[in-house]
Amino acid sequence: MNDGYLTTHVLDISVGQPASAIPITLLYNDKQTVHKTITNSDGRTNKPMLSGAEFKKGKYSLIFSVKNYLKNNHRLVDEPFYDQITIEFVIRDNTEHYHVPLLLSPYGYSTYRGS
């Protein structure tokens, strides 16, 4: 039985606010698109990125398309430094909750495995 699920959120750490309207694509094994969504006003997705029978062990990539968000929400000297940010990770236990957030600023980012 696989009761696990995958969630994410995006926080703009340069202003301490959630980052909304960021498109996210989830890939399985570097090629198969398994989910596409966009962050809501709280910087989260409206439902888990992956759950139920689709939540299986393997390598995943979360691709955050941040360029438009950065252009629209920050006074940048030039084009945004980042177009997309990809976070690659492995799900080893499909009974657990995996939370993989993106902490974003115009010139840097961080992530971690949360709970």
pLDDT tens for 18-63 read 999 999 999 999 889 999 999 999 999 999 999 988 899 999 999 9
Q: Which of the listed CATH numbers 2.60.40.180, 3.40.50.150, 1.10.1740.10, 2.60.40.10 matches domain 5-111?
A: 2.60.40.180
**Extents of the domains making up the chain:** 5-111
72-90 pLDDT per residue, tens:
999 877 889 999 999 999 9
Evaluate if residue 92 carries a pLDDT over 90: yes
Q: What is the pLDDT of residue 28?
A: 96
Contact assessment for residue 9 and residue 46, using Cβ atoms and an 8 Å cutoff: no
58 CB-near residues (< 8 Å, 6+ apart)? 28, 29, 90, 91
pTM, to two decimals: 0.94
Burial environment of residue 23 by CB neighbours within 10 A (0 to 12, 13 to 18, 19 or more):
middle
**Dist. CA 26–CA 24, nearest whole Å:** 7
